[in-house]
Chain A
Amino acid sequence: MTAELLRGAEAIGLAALMSGVEAYFGYPITPSSEIMEFMASEQGDPRFPRYRAFVQASSEVEAVSMLMGAGAAGHLAMTATSGPGLSLMAEGISHAYVAEIPFLIVDVNRGGPGLGTTEPEQSDYLFVTRSLGHGGSRAIVLAPEGVGEAMELVNRGFRLAFEYRIPVVILTDAIVVHMRETVDVPELRPVLDGVPPWAVRGKRGRGTRNALTTGFLDSRELKEFKEGLERKWRRISEREAYYECHMCDDAEVIYVAFGISARVAAEAVRELRGRGTAAGLFRPITLAPFPSGALARLRGRGIRFVVMEMNEGQMYRDVREALGPDEDVEPIPMMGGIVTRSEVS
């Protein structure tokens, strides 16, 4: 490991390149464009010979469709966008979910809905965790708390995308992407060695074709296929729900927060501990699947839970569902892209 001062956008791009990303297809949108600009500048970098396709698409619709193509062919492809772009990408994500096509989308959350602001919010939470696209499609959602973890989660995101053949979203925000932090650059290894057996690239001697379809002529066929997708999602939920529980053992107050809000909450925990209050932090790292089981294990201890998020209280519902009706759960919603210490206390 080497320590480097890296901007979030650069770190995300670097992690993707170290993971063996082969294609970047995107459309500029604030506050995500720095990732695209970095990937544009990395074309031809001799350190990353696998990386060979960069296209500035004509829209997010076109970009996500290109991701479908490269993913279907069994290659690592990614994009970065923000809320209004993610809305357009929902079409491709729904198709990719049912066709089981892997790719990675970095959603740099800005204030919404609509054009909103270009300031950071966490208001895409419900959209990305509940049903990203029509017909009950899903994605695995990972939320880094800072630049260093963003690198690890990009690598893990690509691994999960290919292991489970599912779209993966990194939900982050303008603070993480624009901030410079000293990072112990992790040793990330390429995710793929060789071509996956399901890749659509011509039969090339295979006896049977590979066909990734999203349409079904028979209702029973779709029913059985969707039951398979649900089994896969349960498997993902059981194995891949990640979280961090910081100073939870003796805590009387536990903040529940993700992404950059968790950094603010961690500061509040330090302050409260300094004043003699036993505070802790529960930080979901995967937002989908949500680490409900781990949170539920904290029930019945008389803990006061405080859900801190930069939206109108979207994750609060997941926390309440995990903890049940009897626990003391208080939401602290912060809207409009404003993070202040005073609001926390």
Chain B
Amino acid sequence: MGAEVRQAKRIGLLYDGRASTFCPGCEHGLLLKLIARALEELGVADRAVMVGTVGCSSLGYLLFDSDFVQAPHGRAPAVMAGIKLVEPDAVVFAIQGDGDALSIGLQELLYAADRGIPMTIFMYNNMTFGMTGGQMAPTTIPGMRTTTTPRGRDVKLSGSPIDACRLLSAIDGPAYLRRAILAPRPLRVKGKIFYSAREALEAYRIVLNAFRAQLKGGFSFVEFVGTCNVNWRMGIDESKAFVHEVGAKYFPPGLCRDIYGLEGGGKV
């Protein structure tokens, strides 16, 4: 057991010494680290398969040392289903962006969830299309300026943000549905900014639960609300504060479903 803990600290699933391909301030790297550590803690690193998505999350495979297959844009849940149905022992996961999951890939996400095929999807919601340069996403909040909503998102023209957890709650298939804020809250102490560790610690527990749900035979989906300070044209601290102060109103953290009682059997 002790040896396993030491191995988990080294995080064998992450390549040593490779520079992160993510922008400074982005939480994608943190999420990868939590996933790698959780797979190792659960003892399933050797069975892990990452399915590549399209968007900034696709860069994760450069840092992550598990078996990997790239899916077309939005199709990761279908590719994951294809793997899982013939390799039920594999632990299959993907990190989808909000555009990948809720725009081009909504149908694939919805039907994978509806069939309840065991798999784990982490949706990184940064309210924009990051990789293509900051266009409007299904999750862009009203009034938010993007390169395709230069005057701010007009809900009459472009609709309102899609709440993935509520949407997936409408069908019976999923076993575990959860939303949490991944961006650490910036705390000002004596004029200096510190980041809270609370979000990352909670996110780690959620990542573990998401994989536990898959190992119990269920479909799990976690929406992590994060930042994209570069495309938001904000400073790093400002972007993290924005998630907590504004983003959380549209994407409130919470548990939407937990059929296995992984979070203590509370509200479902």
Could you tell me if B66 and A202 are in contact, using CB atoms closer than 8 angstroms? yes
Could you tell me if B81 and A69 are in contact, using CB atoms closer than 8 angstroms? yes
Number of B interface residues at 8 Å Cβ cutoff, please give it: 36
Total inter-chain residue pairs, C-beta < 8 Å? 142
Residues in B whose Cβ lies below 8 Å from that of A75 = 86-87
A23 contacts the other chain (Cβ, under 8 Å)? yes
Q: How far is the CA of A53 from the CA of B81 in the complex (A)?
A: 10
Residues in A whose Cβ lies below 8 Å from that of B78 = 57, 61-63, 65-66, 68-69
Segment of B45-53, B144-152, B196-204 in the binding face: B45-53
B108 contacts the other chain (Cβ, under 8 Å)? yes
Partner of B86 from the list A57, A59, A73, A209 (CB cut-off 8 Å) is A73
Distance in Å from the Cβ of A254 to the closest Cβ of chain B? 43
Chain A residue with Cβ nearest B82: A69
Partner of A65 from the list B67, B71, B91 (CB cut-off 8 Å) is B71
B68 contacts the other chain (Cβ, under 8 Å)? yes
A212 contacts the other chain (Cβ, under 8 Å)? yes
Could you tell me if B90 and A202 are in contact, using CB atoms closer than 8 angstroms? yes
Number of A interface residues at 8 Å Cβ cutoff, please give it: 41
Could you tell me if B67 and A201 are in contact, using CB atoms closer than 8 angstroms? yes
Distance in Å from the Cβ of A72 to the closest Cβ of chain B? 4
Residues in A whose Cβ lies below 8 Å from that of B51 = 69
Say whether, besides A55-B85, A66-B78, A68-B71, A73 and B111 are in contact (CB < 8 Å).
no
Say whether, besides A73-B86, A91-B72, A95-B72, A211 and B79 are in contact (CB < 8 Å).
no
Say whether, besides A62-B111, A66-B81, A200 and B71 are in contact (CB < 8 Å).
no
A213 contacts the other chain (Cβ, under 8 Å)? yes
Chain B residue with Cβ nearest A58: B111
A99 contacts the other chain (Cβ, under 8 Å)? yes
Say whether, besides A65-B108, A91-B72, A203 and B67 are in contact (CB < 8 Å).
yes
Could you tell me if A215 and B85 are in contact, using CB atoms closer than 8 angstroms? no
Distance in Å from the Cβ of B28 to the closest Cβ of chain A? 16
Partner of B47 from the list A22, A101, A202 (CB cut-off 8 Å) is A202
Say whether, besides A62-B108, A69-B78, A210 and B67 are in contact (CB < 8 Å).
yes
Say whether, besides A62-B78, A68-B79, A69-B78, A200 and B69 are in contact (CB < 8 Å).
yes
Residues in A whose Cβ lies below 8 Å from that of B48 = 202-203
Residues in A whose Cβ lies below 8 Å from that of B66 = 202-203, 209
Could you tell me if B68 and A212 are in contact, using CB atoms closer than 8 angstroms? yes
Q: How far is the CA of A75 from the CA of B69 in the complex (A)?
A: 14
From 1 to 54 in chain B, residues with beta carbon under 8 angstroms from any chain A beta carbon are 45-49, 51-52
Interface pairs (9), CB distance under 8 Å = A55-B85, A65-B108, A69-B69, A69-B83, A70-B85, A72-B79, A92-B72, A209-B65, A213-B52
- Which 10 pairs between the two chains have the least Cβ-Cβ distance? A69-B82, A65-B78, A66-B82, A202-B47, A65-B75, A53-B85, A69-B79, A211-B68, A75-B86, A70-B82
